């Protein structure tokens, strides 16, 4: 049985993800297209969402499998963050199902969701650190809130998480003393505090210079490989997609336009997909003369 988007990946240029994720074809669970993949870890069915009368998410169907890095790609405003907020239980859909290991969190109360969501970590857009707390306290906070661990154990775990993201020794720094890339790393350490099975990252490399952004992408790959975390990354940055994605779901105006590997997306004849991948900005299609005239004439 062939499931869309799970076909064996074809050639990948050696300088791309394969270089960093050596052995991925062995690790990747779907390389045998004849086999049914295992049950999805997350399964989104017919998800619809409205803000007021405006429909933001349109009939989203998406499966996320254990161990993969799924990228949710799309332009600004297409609904990527909204989709993540639904999956992590911060917003309720108008209709549809969000199954996490078979539990439909769309229909659960906050109390019912808590044990399900405990296995989920989230790096928010902009890292969302508490500026009045040290980096160490930011990372330790989920452990203090949700566990009964001894303070000394919390401290050891906090230091381990900071080590894992390359911030060993920065626990006493305040967020304001960190660079943009370091803030994202600290946000990742906090998202990982409870040893999540699934990690969500909303625009982890946005606003970073390209070298720092590559460092964050490599860190995401490391977490996926070394800790076997399932990772869902929202982005609109194509270099990040090439670096980290096993599969990509492309959103457009609140709907899933395409799902597949990078190679599959590149081969997809859908003009919306091609326009995004080729970065034919709409602006380039604006007639320059007409535009200047409109500025003068108002
Ligand atoms: N709380 C909200 N109330 C009303 N509209 C919202 C709210 N949050 C987001 N939107 C709108 O929903 C659309 C999708 O937003 P968002 O999910 O943040 O997009 P993305 O993350 O892809 O840039 C946007 O048009 C945005 O203006
Ligand atoms: Mg967003």
Q: Is residue 13 in contact with ligand 1, taking CB distance under 6 Å?
A: no
Same domain? For 202 and 80 the reply is yes
Task: Order across the sheet with 103-104: list the strands.
Answer: 54-64, 42-51, 95-100, 103-104
The percent helix, strand, coil of the chain (3-state, each to 5) is 40, 20, 40
pLDDT of residue 292: 73
Same domain? For 178 and 205 the reply is no
Q: Do the domain assignments include residue 188?
A: yes
Residue numbers in the chain where pLDDT is lower than 70: 1-37, 280-288, 290-291, 294, 296-298
Same domain? For 144 and 113 the reply is no
Same domain? For 67 and 159 the reply is no
End position of a domain, from candidates 150, 169, 195: 195
Q: Do the domain assignments include residue 298?
A: no
Cα angle 76, 79, 85; round to 5: 120
Q: Is residue 254 in contact with ligand 1, taking CB distance under 6 Å?
A: no
- Residue 41 sits in which domain range? 1-119+198-260
Q: Do the domain assignments include residue 293?
A: no
Same domain? For 110 and 225 the reply is yes
Phi, psi for 246 (deg, rounded to 5): -85, -50
Atom of ligand 1 minimally distant from the CA of 84? 17
Q: Do the domain assignments include residue 253?
A: yes
The best mutation among 50, 75, 79 to test binding of ligand 1, ranked by most ligand atoms within 8 Å of the C-beta, falls on 79
Considering its fold, how many domains does the chain have in total?
2
Q: Do the domain assignments include residue 279?
A: no
End position of a domain, from candidates 195, 228, 249: 195
Same domain? For 191 and 202 the reply is no
Same domain? For 42 and 186 the reply is no
Q: Do the domain assignments include residue 265?
A: no
Q: Looking at the CA of 75, which ligand is closest?
A: 1
Q: Is residue 53 in contact with ligand 1, taking CB distance under 6 Å?
A: no
For residue 234 the two structure tokens come to 């929202």
Same domain? For 157 and 41 the reply is no
Take atom 7 of ligand 1 and give the residue whose Cα is closest. 51
pLDDT of residue 203: 92
Of the candidates 31, 15, 111, 19, the residue with the CA atom closest to the CA atom of residue 67:
31
Same domain? For 19 and 89 the reply is yes
Q: Could you tell me whether strands 95-100 and 103-104 are parallel, antiparallel, or unpaired per DSSP bridges?
A: antiparallel
Q: What DSSP assignment string belongs to 127-160?
A: ----TTS-HHHHHHHHHHHH----HHHHHHHHHH
Atom of ligand 1 minimally distant from the CA of 254? 14
What DSSP designation does 78 have? Answer: S
End position of a domain, from candidates 195, 223, 246: 195
Same domain? For 224 and 239 the reply is yes
CB within 8 Å of 97: residues ≥ 6 apart: 43, 44, 45, 46, 47, 104, 106, 107
Take atom 17 of ligand 1 and give the residue whose Cα is closest. 79
Give the pLDDT confidence of 112-162 residue by residue, as tens digits.
888 888 889 999 887 789 999 999 999 999 999 888 999 999 999 999 999
pLDDT of residue 28: 42
Q: Do the domain assignments include residue 276?
A: no
CATH number at residue 241: 3.40.50.300
Q: Looking at the CA of 126, which ligand is closest?
A: 2
Of the candidates 200, 192, 90, the residue with the CA atom closest to the CA atom of residue 141:
192
Same domain? For 107 and 167 the reply is no
């Amino acid at each position: 049985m062939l499931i869309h988007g799970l076909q064996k990946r074809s050639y990948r240029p050696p300088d791309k993800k394969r270089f960093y994720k050596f052995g991925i074809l062995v690790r990747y669970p779907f390389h045998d297209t004849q086999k049914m993949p295992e049950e999805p870890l997350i399964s989104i069915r017919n998800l619809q969402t409205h803000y007021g009368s405006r429909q933001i998410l349109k009939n989203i169907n998406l499966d996320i499998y254990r161990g993969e890095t799924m990228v949710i790609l799309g332009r600004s405003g297409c609904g990527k963050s909204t989709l993540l907020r639904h999956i992590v239980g911060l917003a309720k859909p108008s209709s549809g199902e969000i199954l996490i290991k078979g539990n439909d969190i769309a229909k659960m109360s906050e109390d019912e969701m808590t044990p399900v969501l405990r296995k989920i970590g989230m790096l928010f857009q902009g890292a969302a650190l508490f500026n009045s707390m040290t980096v160490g306290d930011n990372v330790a906070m989920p452990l203090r809130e949700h566990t009964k661990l001894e303070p000394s154990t919390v401290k050891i775990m906090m230091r381990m998480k900071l080590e894992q993201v390359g911030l060993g020794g920065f626990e006493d720094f305040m967020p304001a003393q960190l660079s943009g890339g370091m803030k994202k790393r600290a946000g990742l350490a906090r998202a990982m505090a409870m040893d999540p099975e699934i990690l969500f990252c909303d625009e982890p490399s946005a606003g970073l210079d390209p070298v720092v952004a590559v460092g964050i992408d490599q860190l995401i790959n490391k977490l996926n490989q070394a800790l076997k975390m399932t990772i869902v990354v929202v982005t609109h940055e194509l270099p990040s997609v090439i670096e980290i994605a096993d599969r990509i779901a492309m959103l457009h105006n609140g709907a899933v336009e395409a799902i597949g590997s990078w190679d599959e997306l590149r081969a997809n004849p859908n003009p919306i997909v091609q326009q995004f991948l080729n970065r034919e900005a709409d602006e380039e299609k604006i007639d320059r003369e007409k535009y200047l005239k409109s500025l003068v004439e108002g």
